[in-house]
Amino acid sequence: MNRRGFLTVAAGVPLAAAGVVTSPAFAAAAPTVSTATPAADPAFGTATPAADPTFGTAAGAASGAAPMRGRVTGLLVRDPVLVRDASAARLRGFVQPLTWAEAQPEPGGDLSSPALAKLQAAADLARQRGYSRLKLRLLAGWQSPGWALALGGGPMCKWEDPDAVEPDLYDVPVWWAEDFLAAYSAFLPGLAAALEDEPLWGEVTVSGTCTVFAEPCVKQLGVAANRKQALDRGYTAAADRAALETVIAVHHDTFSPMGITSSVAYNPWQFIAASGRMETDPAVTVQLMDYQRTTMGAFGVWENNSLIARRTGGVLEQTRPDYQGMYDHMISGAAAGHPIQFQTGTLAKIQAAGGTAEATASWVAEHGGISVELPRGWEQDTDAIGVNRADQLNRQLAVNAAATLS
Residue range 24-402 forms a domain whose CATH class is alpha beta
pLDDT on residue 261: 98
Scanning 50-132, the segments in alpha helix (DSSP H) are 100-103, 113-129
pLDDT on residue 81: 95
Using a cut of 0.75, tell me whether the model's pTM lies above it: yes
pLDDT on residue 60: 38
Cα(349)–Cα(356) distance, rounded to whole angstroms?
10
If we measure between CA atoms, which residue out of 171, 204, 202 comes closest to residue 103?
204
Taking only the tens of pLDDT, the chain with its 406 residues reads 322 222 222 222 222 222 222 333 323 333 332 323 333 344 454 433 333 333 333 333 444 557 999 999 999 999 999 999 999 999 999 999 999 999 999 999 999 999 999 999 999 999 999 999 999 999 999 999 999 999 999 999 999 999 887 889 999 999 999 999 999 999 999 999 999 999 999 999 999 999 999 999 999 999 999 999 999 999 999 999 999 999 999 999 999 999 999 999 999 999 999 999 999 999 999 999 999 999 999 999 999 999 999 999 999 999 999 999 999 999 999 999 999 999 999 999 999 999 999 999 999 999 999 999 999 999 988 788 999 999 999 999 999 999 997 5
pLDDT on residue 42: 43
CA distances from 270 to 23, 220, 277, 354 (A): 20, 8, 10, 27
If we measure between CA atoms, which residue out of 244, 256, 258, 115 comes closest to residue 184?
244
Phi, psi of 65 (to 5 degrees): -90, 155
Q: State how far Cα 4 lies from the chain centre.
A: 20
pLDDT on residue 5: 27
Q: Please answer whether residues 2 and 308 qualify as being in contact, where contact means their C-beta atoms are separated by less than 8 angstroms.
A: yes
In the 8-state DSSP scheme, what is residue 332? H
pLDDT on residue 184: 98
pLDDT on residue 245: 98
Q: Please answer whether residues 222 and 278 qualify as being in contact, where contact means their C-beta atoms are separated by less than 8 angstroms.
A: yes
